[in-house]
Amino acid sequence: MAKLNTKNANFPKTYEGAKASTITPDEQLRRSVMSCLLWEGEFYESGQTIAERIKAIVPHTTPEEALKIVIEAREKMNIRHIGLLILREMARLSTHKHLVAQGLEKIIQRPDELGEFLAIYWKDGKVPLSKQVKKGLGNAFKKFGEYQLAKYNRKVAIKLKDVLFLTHPKPNDKEQEDLWKRLINNELQIPDTWETALSSGEDKKTAWERLIKEKKLGSLALIRNLRNMSEVEVEPELVKSAIKNMKTDKILPFRFIAALPYAEGFEKELEEAMLKSISSMEKLKGKTILLCDASASMYSYISRRAEMSRFDASNGLAVLMKEVCEDVKIFTFSNRVVEVKNDVRGFELIKAIASSQEASGTYLGKAVKEVNKLDYDRIVIITDEQTADKVPPPNPNTKGYVINIATYEKGIGYDEWIHINGWSEAVISYITELEKAETEQK
């Protein structure tokens, strides 16, 4: 007869084999969402697997918490598509559908997201729009003026005027009514953007230089197009001046890192802009240990079209931590633990992290044991959590944070650790605000 009174080894595991934390459906949704680019694969999981898992979790979540995660993903983590998928799944559920209109109105921030939601809504077959969906899309439509509507009035399967006809929103005033008539009649004034300038047949070098001089090139568009401008030999001093004068408040460090391979001749200006973007952030007092995952799985790309890996995103957070921490020691871990030299910052810090060791296995437990021999007030781990060994708790009377920058189903760092999902600067702001609030309560 088989024995029943035996040790159960069927606990959830990470992909590397360590015991994973057991979490609630709300926590599972947050974990799967905050680092997710919809339908994009990762080192261990396909994009389709991640999307299907998210869809399966939604019915088990608290409706209000699901909506909160959707809004936070869009507004704090700047993730555009995943919230649309969750709201589509919420629209199927009698327990959740009453929040769909509120969610759509809140998270749709670009006109093209109206059609993208409908593409998701009809992905499994065309069905009538629910009342909540019509209301949410209609209210979101009202937010956009002529510039935005014209910019995204593209020849796609579901056009903006299709959304207008399907939802029948009531215009706020005569001016908006006239605007929508121009949209329907294809009479919107075409905006002068870099996309329209380059597609109009204008000489590319002339177009880039004109847009820069007329200050019609946004900061993100500027750093994303450094390669394109270099290829057509845009005046280097003009580009340098644009980088120096760009607004950096809404650009995250990893964006500068992604631009670095194409910034030959502009490295100094790009680094100065990156450091400027985080210079106003509140400082973290005390001693900090930063552990950066340098294992092989971190080198998976964030999306099929992206030229940036999870490791690049991690480096962006490391650069940020270096600037905001009063006293910080940085280590990398893979098969071993290596301390990164402390007298570098910015792009030099990224090079130091990347060259610190070979990318191999993930032994986070061994790394935490090693750094626990040191004196610190907080330990911050940046990882995809797929460790092969058990992770001990942080030292007594300290703070321990695990920043998860992947979306894998199973992970660690929930029990004795404070678990944070995502890789925007918001995760660092969260640490700062949390500790400040606890200090004020004492």
Longest dimension (CA), the chain: 83
Q: Per DSSP, which regions of 173-318 are E strands?
A: 284-293
The full length of the chain comes to 442
Q: What is the pLDDT of residues 363-375, one digit of tens each?
A: 999 999 999 999 9
Q: What is the pLDDT of residues 161-184, one digit of tens each?
A: 999 999 999 999 999 999 999 999
The upper half-sphere exposure of residue 217, i.e. CA atoms within 13 Å in the direction of its Cβ, equals: 26
178 or 311: which leads in pLDDT: 178
Q: In 3D, which of 41, 21, 33, 42 has the Cα closest to residue 61?
A: 33
- The per-residue pLDDT for 211 is 92
Look at residue 30 and tell me whether its pLDDT is greater than 80.
no
Whole-number Å distance between alpha carbons of 256 and 273:
8
Look at residue 339 and tell me whether its pLDDT is greater than 80.
yes
Q: What is the pLDDT of residues 189-206, one digit of tens each?
A: 988 788 888 777 788 999
pTM greater than 0.75: no
Beta bridge mates, 19: 13
- Helix (H) / strand (E) element for 329: namely strand 325-333
Whole-number Å distance between alpha carbons of 133 and 88:
9
Task: Tell me the CATH number for domain 284-441.
Answer: 3.40.50.410
Whole-number Å distance between alpha carbons of 321 and 213:
35
Task: Express as a percent the part of the chain with pLDDT over 70.
Answer: 85
Q: What is the pLDDT of residues 387-438, one digit of tens each?
A: 888 889 999 999 998 888 876 555 555 568 888 776 677 778 778 877 876 7
Whole-number Å distance between alpha carbons of 18 and 408:
14
Cβ–Cβ under 8 Å, residues 285 and 324: no
Whole-number Å distance between alpha carbons of 334 and 315:
15
* Helix locations, 99-213, DSSP H: 100-107, 112-121, 131-141, 146-151, 160-167, 174-184, 194-199, 204-213
Amino acid at the residue 339? E
Domain ranges in the chain are 25-184, 202-278, 284-441
Backbone angles phi, psi at 289, to 5 degrees: -105, 125
Q: What is the pLDDT of residues 41-96, one digit of tens each?
A: 333 334 456 678 788 889 999 999 999 989 988 887 677 788 999 999 999 999 99
Amino acid at the residue 149? L
Q: Which long-range contacts (CB under 8 A, 24 or more apart) does 203-206 make?
A: 204/228, 204/232, 205/232, 205/233, 205/234
Whole-number Å distance between alpha carbons of 27 and 57:
10
